Structure 1
Amino acid sequence: MTTLTATAPAVDPSLFAQLYAEVQQFYAHHFHLLDAGAAEEWAATFTEDGFFHPETLPVPVSGRAALAAGVRRTHDELAAEGVQRRHWHGMVSVVPREGAEVLDVRCYALIFSTPRGGSAALRMTCVCEDVLVRVDGAWQVKERRVTRDDQPAG
């Protein structure tokens, strides 16, 4: 079950605005890579030991090689089916930890599927909870947990 832990930002409001814009740009780039099937580039937006844990898997997908392999497999399956997938993240809540080099980010994710020649359809809605860390000046996902709205709580 997902819990809300958002608190007021621990940084100056003008600096927080810049930080928030950086996070939005990070997600735009991150999900454009994912939807394009750029597996290695997408996986490189995670830390070396980063993980992705959708609640439908018993264990997290951990490490860039495994993350990239999953994207390649899914992208190839969708291409064979003639389906384009798009991810949209909104209602993004950013809570900086001490020093603002680590962020707790929580947002809603909508995932759309569009079959070639068909109409777009909402495939699922989720809550995405990330821990972002700044590595060499760029944001990377250290931890990602995804909770699907259509799955039972618990």
Structure 2
Amino acid sequence: MALATPPQERLRAEIEQFYARHMQLLDSGDAEGWARTFTEDGTFALPGRPGPSRGRAELAEGARRAFAGHTAAGETHRHWHGMLDISARDDGTVHVRCYALVVLTPRGGDPRLHRSCVCEDVLVTVGSEWQVRTRCVTRDGA
């Protein structure tokens, strides 16, 4: 007889799978697919920017520009989210604080750590899918 999966274990598995898909969409250059993992009015605040990116169109455009720049420079960027601290809230949102690493590999070269950040997200379910409502990234050393 199989035991039921405790809700926290199921939530962790769902959130980890969400981030795996989310980051692979970004790293593969699927800007529209990546932007669809945010809510329609989702926001993404990055250090050094005057304000957060808002909405899927703006998020997709930023992802497209970044991917084109990496491609033109002969670089591959891989994003990794780990050390996830997941907190389900009474309002149905899930707050996630994690470490985000970006590994840069130049064409013909060796991979190196490019960025180390803290990422704080508020996730919501839309239908049966997790989506980012808000994201705030802070860079280590900034």
TM-score between the two structures when normalised by the length of structure 2: 0.95
Q: Alignment partner of 1:68: what SS?
A: helix
| Long gaps (5+) in structure 1 | 1-12
| Residue in structure 2 matched with residue 49 of structure 1 by the alignment | 41
Q: Alignment partner of 1:98: what SS?
A: coil
What pairs up with 1:1-154 in 2 under 5 angstroms? 14-98=6-90, 101-151=92-142
Asked if the contact 1:124/1:150 (under 8 Å) is kept, the reply is: no
- The count of residues paired between Structure 1 and Structure 2 equals 138
Give the Å deviation of 1:44.
0.1
Partners of 1:73 and 1:58 in 2: CA distance: 17
Partners of 1:88 and 1:80 in 2: CA distance: 22
* Identical counterparts, % of pairs: 51
Give the Å deviation of 1:150.
1.8
Partners of 1:128 and 1:104 in 2: CA distance: 11
Q: Alignment partner of 1:87: what SS?
A: strand
TM-score between the two structures when normalised by the length of structure 1: 0.87
Partners of 2:63 and 2:50 in 1: CA distance: 18
Give the Å deviation of 1:55.
2.4
Partners of 1:79 and 1:110 in 2: CA distance: 19
Q: Alignment partner of 2:50: what SS?
A: coil
Q: Alignment partner of 2:58: what SS?
A: helix
| Long gaps (5+) in structure 2 | none
